[in-house]
Amino acid sequence: MNKLTPGHCDLDYFPTVDGCLQIGGTSLQQLAERMGNTPFYAYDRKIIEKRILSLREKLPSAIKLHYAVKANPMPELVHFLAQQIDGLDIASQGELRVALEASMPSQHISFTGPGKGMDELKMAIEAGVTLNLESETEMLRVAKLAETTGVKPRVTVRINPDFELKSSGLRMGGGPKQFGIDAELVPGLLQKLADLDLDFLGFHIFSGSQSLRAEAIIEAQNETLELAIRLAEFAPSPVQLLNLGGGFGIPYFPGDLPLGLSPIGENLERLCEKAKTTLPEATLSLELGRYLVGEAGIYVCRVIDKKISRGQVFLITDGGLHQHLAASGNFGQVIRKNYPVVIGNKMASKEKEVVSIVGRLCTPLDLLADKMELAKAEVGDLVVILQSGAYGLTASPTAFLSHPTPKEILV
């Protein structure tokens, strides 16, 4: 069990041997030597595998599991995931390449996101990927492109629902949004779609992200199915795909508790039953990002200086916000809170100290841990930021200050 700062829930994914954190069966120190250099990101296959198994166990087998590649697009990791899940959701041409190289059959890849470019749309249509239409303009563009590609585009309509996932970290639906088509406009859009040479497959409804409350997710999923049933009446053909969104969160901050899957699974069981009669041809899916990979990853940097400024201890590391923006509190957080952090080579240390951990950038925003009680650390020790498998490296401004980009490893 990792002893984290007071308030963080216990995270016991990574065992400790002789006071050193272990990842993928090796000690952190050995791994750091193998990597040649800090900082780096490491992702543990076993933890991802276990997470998928627990989802398969607790959710109905009829529910397909998709991975939202933007959470972590490392090609090796996506390839590993592709062998265990049912589909990949992508949001750019670059992610499309990663998904195709991961050998995911194109009919199980769906392309979401506002403002898709013409070249992206063309490549996706030719590859046979399902396009989640984000606007009427996009629908017309896709229909036009199809005239030259000779492939009938597979499309679903992304709906901006008239509800939102309550108490979620990031609201992606409800109210005015740049995502999807307002639910009330969908019947009219479907009428136009019927006249175009498009293969209509169904709906994509994503109402929010990073929720740790099962009841909120259940409520959103119930409303999602209701909305899909209502709108299916206006569809040119039976709904074959219904993407229920995701929103499953992971505990990052003091006070956060892990999401309980069982009630969500029980409710989905009921929804699957209901869908059997109301949307008999529909395959239901969930698209998860951080829930699949977030807890399997760590970010590791090294203490390169230690100083005391007017009584406050600073550990200065070779990492920083340019490599882990989210841990610095600048990736969508309203109030800065500490990620779970440990001194990875001093897990058993009894000697503690309250420290602030900073990076090497010349900005006070570059704070990786603010006044946390941790094992007393010195120059050379390894700082580990847990819960870093999603929205880490690729969600960070790595070009800022022109330091080298850290390596990543799947262990």
Ligand X SMILES: *Cc1c(COP(=O)(O)O)cnc(C)c1O
In 228-296, the DSSP E strands lie at 241-243, 283-288
Site for ligand X in 124-183 (CB under 6 A): none
Angle, helices 186-194 vs 214-232, to 10°: value is 50
CB of 288 to ligand X, least distance (A): 5
CB neighbour list of residue 286: distance below 8 Å, 6 or more residues apart: 59, 63, 64, 65, 66, 243, 244, 245, 246, 248
CB neighbour list of residue 260: distance below 8 Å, 6 or more residues apart: 214
Of 2-10, 68-76, 213-221, 269-277, the window that binds ligand X (rule: CB under 6 A) is: 68-76
Q: Are 121 and 143 in contact (CB under 8 A)?
A: no
Tell me which of 174, 246, 389, 392 binds ligand X, using CB under 6 A.
Answer: 246
Count the Cβ atoms, other than its own, within 10 Å of residue 287.
Answer: 26
Tokens of 316: 């200065």
Q: Which of 32, 311, 334, 285 has the alpha carbon at shortest distance from 169?
A: 334
Binding mask 78-97 for ligand X (x = CB under 6 A): -----------x--------
CB of 124 to ligand X, least distance (A): 15
What CA–CA distance (Å, rounded) separates 229 from 233?
7
Contact call for residue 210 and ligand X (CB under 6 A): yes
Q: 303: part of which helix (H) or strand (E)?
A: strand 297-309
Contact call for residue 390 and ligand X (CB under 6 A): yes
Residue with smaller CB distance to ligand X, 249 or 359 = 249
What CA–CA distance (Å, rounded) separates 249 from 356?
26
Tell me which of 42, 48, 65, 68 binds ligand X, using CB under 6 A.
Answer: 68
Q: Which of 266, 222, 270, 260 has the alpha carbon at shortest distance from 244?
A: 222
* Total number of residues that touch ligand X (CB under 6 A): 15
CB neighbour list of residue 340: distance below 8 Å, 6 or more residues apart: 2, 4, 5, 8, 11, 252, 385, 386, 387
Q: Which amino acid is at 243?
A: N
Tell me which of 16, 130, 135, 209 binds ligand X, using CB under 6 A.
Answer: 209
Residue with smaller CB distance to ligand X, 303 or 326 = 326
Residue with smaller CB distance to ligand X, 244 or 384 = 244
Contact call for residue 242 and ligand X (CB under 6 A): no
Tell me which of 71, 193, 198, 298 binds ligand X, using CB under 6 A.
Answer: 71
Contact call for residue 388 and ligand X (CB under 6 A): no
Contact call for residue 206 and ligand X (CB under 6 A): yes
Of 28-36, 63-71, 263-271, 365-373, the window that binds ligand X (rule: CB under 6 A) is: 63-71
CB neighbour list of residue 362: distance below 8 Å, 6 or more residues apart: 401
CB of 378 to ligand X, least distance (A): 36
CB of 248 to ligand X, least distance (A): 6
What CA–CA distance (Å, rounded) separates 185 from 149?
29
Residue with smaller CB distance to ligand X, 138 or 287 = 287
CB of 346 to ligand X, least distance (A): 31
CB of 287 to ligand X, least distance (A): 4
Of 66-74, 223-231, 339-347, 377-385, the window that binds ligand X (rule: CB under 6 A) is: 66-74
The residues binding ligand X (CB under 6 A) are 68, 70-71, 89, 112, 206, 209-210, 246, 287-291, 390
